[in-house]
Amino acid sequence: MRTFRNSLFALLALVLFFTACEQDQLETVAPVVKENQKPMAITDLATTPKDAVDLIEIDDTNLESRGTKVLVYSSTGSVTAAGWKHFWYTKSALAGYRYTAVITPTGGDPDLYIYGYDTGNASPWRYVRRSANAGEDSAHLAGSDLNLDEEYGAFSVYGFTASTFKIRIYREEICKMEDCLSINTSAVKAVKEGSRYLITDGRSRMFMAPNSNEAKMIVRVFSHYGINQSCFVGRPGASFFYLNKDGNAPEGSMPGEDCIGFNPDNIEVKQIGGRWKIVEGNHWIFDFDTKEDEARQAFCIIKKYGFTKSCYVGRPGPSLEYLRK
């Protein structure tokens, strides 16, 4: 009996040793807690990136959409107080899309966090954003939210209290996420401001030109093509800009304009030297720095409108860049 008792104590000691080792391993992959962020219970780390899939499959027969957003995943879940549940996406699944998660509490107070995850980093979790309301929470995740070396993005549900919830994840094609402002074409004019010229439609300040020649040329462009929409990819600090007339590309040509042609059938999105670009063969057409999603959105927009010319007023350092067919 004494021999059996000694063996049992030895087995228990061995189990405790390996449990401690496992706890140390969990600590190395736990999300880094930032200022103003609720703490997490490491032992409740439920999911690892090994469970990530290229696309989370829909498991709800009641399909719905919100505008251009389409429901791609729906389920219920639960978290303990200070516990976590993670919903993973690989970077490849995020390319070309933006996903929006909506957390609806059915009990308690769950909050929604977005993380980037880099498997090669000693502290792999990186906090991106959160939504922490008393009721429904919503936050988005796109490829541009991830750093260059991060392989995964996660919707992470945190239990401010022990909670139950319903999660719905919507997917939206970034090409459909157009951001356009209307322009009063007939009112577009140049107004002198000091040594420069402001181009305005009387409602908004649109462009600045360094001299009267460029200012007059910009006004001519708007008048000639009947431009009534100014559109952006990424704001503030848009990485891509284009002009439209009634939701269509400017078409034709205008005497005196400065344009470079390209074939939209031959363009592609490439990462070159850590920067995302739209290229045609060896010709770099547009640069988006590290913003892959914006590069892919611009690529989609060029294809959608059939742009074949990139045009400038003033070079180098143009006061206006626009695209036309």
**Over the stretch 175-191, which tens digit does the pLDDT of each residue have?**
777 889 999 999 999 99
Better-predicted residue by pLDDT, 278 or 235 = 278
Instruction: Choose among 185, 180, 172: nearest CA to 305.
Output: 180
pLDDT band at 68 (very low <50, low <70, confident <90, very high): low
Q: Over 50: is that where the pLDDT of 61 sits?
A: no
Start-to-end Cα distance in the chain: 91
Cβ(190)–Cβ(199) below 8 Å: yes
Strands (E) across 151-212 are located at 152-159, 163-173, 179-182, 189-193, 196-200, 205-209
Q: How far apart are CA 290 and CA 276, in angstroms?
A: 6
pLDDT band at 83 (very low <50, low <70, confident <90, very high): confident
Average pLDDT of the chain to the nearest whole number: 79
Residue type, 246: D
Minimum mean pLDDT among 92-101, 136-145, 247-256, 266-275: which range? 92-101
* Across 254-268, average pLDDT: 93
Give me the numbers of helices (H) and strands (E) for the chain, helices first please.
Answer: 4, 21
- Residue 60 has a pLDDT of 36
High-pLDDT (> 90) share of the chain, %: 46
- The contacts of residue 182 (CB under 8 Å, 6+ apart) are 228, 229
Q: Over 90: is that where the pLDDT of 102 sits?
A: yes
- Residue 67 has a pLDDT of 56
- Residue 144 has a pLDDT of 74
Instruction: Choose among 43, 129, 141, 35: nearest CA to 98.
Output: 141
Better-predicted residue by pLDDT, 25 or 168 = 168
Instruction: Choose among 174, 173, 177: nearest CA to 70.
Output: 173
Q: Over 70: is that where the pLDDT of 25 sits?
A: no
Better-predicted residue by pLDDT, 15 or 212 = 212
Cβ(151)–Cβ(117) below 8 Å: yes
